[in-house]
Structure 1
């Protein structure tokens, strides 16, 4: 009988780490935002860009003119959400993407991609509502993901600063990381880190209208959408908590 020599065990090749560590839903949403902006800037001519704004940007003044021509109010069905996918420039888009990466990531990891997108859209609508309450007769369009991103920020604040809970397996005695508890509104303001982050964020955004008065610059930032979006995500995130 001829013996066949055994092949020595070879070490397993090292596993490749992904180039981007971002959750897939965040990369997908970022890809949609970038693709829309690329198309609007590189493909559409000025007339088509105007049509894009007319049909998909949020214009509160439509509420005023609805009594004259109800058809003008029809876009109000979708523009409280669709405005979040349009941006005024690359700087506008990149700032929103950076902020989204920071605060959408913990939301996705806690709740998943679907709830993250739902919070983003609901917060965009909440920001649009507050924008409408303060600019109803001004004929100003609202565009940008800021309201939705602010909502993800408000949602994340409810748990990212809370202590990590540690449990114990009753059979093995092994310590188990349970995650972070969703804080109540009172607990958010009782925790120094979440309290100061929230207060500073709110004060900075509420102070935006004063910047042109102090500097003379024409700063076009929809601070109302930021505050409305933040409040929406902050208050509604509890709806997505998993029942244990």
Structure 2
């Protein structure tokens, strides 16, 4: 639908987005650690660390040789797995562009809790919708969907540079770009085919992000903040964040 490039929403409460950078680093590291030229080995790791609803709800048992962590822990571990480099790149691009400002509004520790809770909510809703599924859910989509929703609630009027349809550069308010993104996720949940993408996981993250940001944000951070006024010409603005390179398919995906 669109590729986010960067925003001009500067940090106000923290010096650096340490947690966002750390989460990106962990996701990238896990991707390369779990990827293997041997497809069987890669699939085994996805089964061992991915979220499988039928296993989580005790409707099926994962063979002992494939079990890597307790089923309860897969509500989190699945969110650090990705199917391919484009799946990883799309999720990390959204996390890079929007995560730092949510981290700024919540603070380091609350932001980390927020991220993990959104991931858990995504897995839970996916499991409730498909409780008999034996396919592993993987990807940071639930957590990223929560971040997108929180950003929209906190900074709806901030201008965001995006590539519409992957080609047309536009600078538009967040309430347009992110609002359309969320509307698309909801539409696909009710109308779409969930065979390859877990729209339910996205929905869980959206709902969790919208609720959690209300209670976890710092007390001095308002909701629905107006866009910052332009700085005077004599004051140099900080350089904008560079665009990350990604394939046209950059929307956060769920199960591939």
- TMscore range, shorter length: 0.5 to 0.7
Q: 1:39 — aligned with what?
A: 33
Matches within 5 A, 1:194-213: 199-208=179-188, 210=191
2:42 corresponds to 1:62: no
Q: 2:124 — aligned with what?
A: 129
Q: 2:211 — aligned with what?
A: 235
Provide the secondary structure at the position in 2 that maps to 1:208: helix
Q: 1:175 — aligned with what?
A: none
- TM-score with structure 1 setting the length: 0.66
Task: Please state how far the C-alpha of 1:38 moved relative to its aligned partner.
Answer: 1.1
Provide the secondary structure at the position in 1 that maps to 2:154: coil
Q: 2:9 — aligned with what?
A: none
Q: Is the 8 A contact 2:152 2:175 kept in 1?
A: no
Larger RCO, structures 1/2 (Cα 8 Å, 6+ apart): 2
Task: Please state how far the C-alpha of 1:25 moved relative to its aligned partner.
Answer: 1.9
Tell me how far apart the structure 2 counterparts of residues 67 and 50 of structure 1 sit (CA, whole Å). Answer: 18
Tell me how far apart the structure 1 counterparts of residues 24 and 143 of structure 2 sit (CA, whole Å). Answer: 13
Unpaired runs of 5+ residues, structure 2, are 1-14, 159-172, 221-256
Provide the secondary structure at the position in 2 that maps to 1:99: helix
Matches within 5 A, 1:55-94: 55-66=48-59, 75-94=70-89
Task: Please state how far the C-alpha of 1:140 moved relative to its aligned partner.
Answer: 2.0
Match of residue 224, structure 1, among 187, 192, 200? 200
Tell me how far apart the structure 2 counterparts of residues 211 and 238 of structure 1 sit (CA, whole Å). Answer: 29
Tell me how far apart the structure 2 counterparts of residues 88 and 156 of structure 1 sit (CA, whole Å). Answer: 26
Please provide the CA RMSD for this pair: 3.0
Tell me how far apart the structure 2 counterparts of residues 113 and 64 of structure 1 sit (CA, whole Å). Answer: 32
Match of residue 154, structure 2, among 140, 151, 159? 159
Provide the secondary structure at the position in 2 that maps to 1:158: helix
Task: Please state how far the C-alpha of 1:112 moved relative to its aligned partner.
Answer: 2.1
Match of residue 24, structure 2, among 19, 30, 47? 30
* CA pair 92-25 structure 1, distance change in 2 beyond 3 A: same
* CA pair 194-93 structure 1, distance change in 2 beyond 3 A: closer
Tell me how far apart the structure 2 counterparts of residues 241 and 22 of structure 1 sit (CA, whole Å). Answer: 17
Q: Of Structure 1 and Structure 2, which has the larger fraction of its residues in helix?
A: 1
Task: Please state how far the C-alpha of 1:197 moved relative to its aligned partner.
Answer: 5.3
Q: Is the 8 A contact 2:157 2:175 kept in 1?
A: no
Q: 2:42 — aligned with what?
A: 49
- TM-score with structure 2 setting the length: 0.63
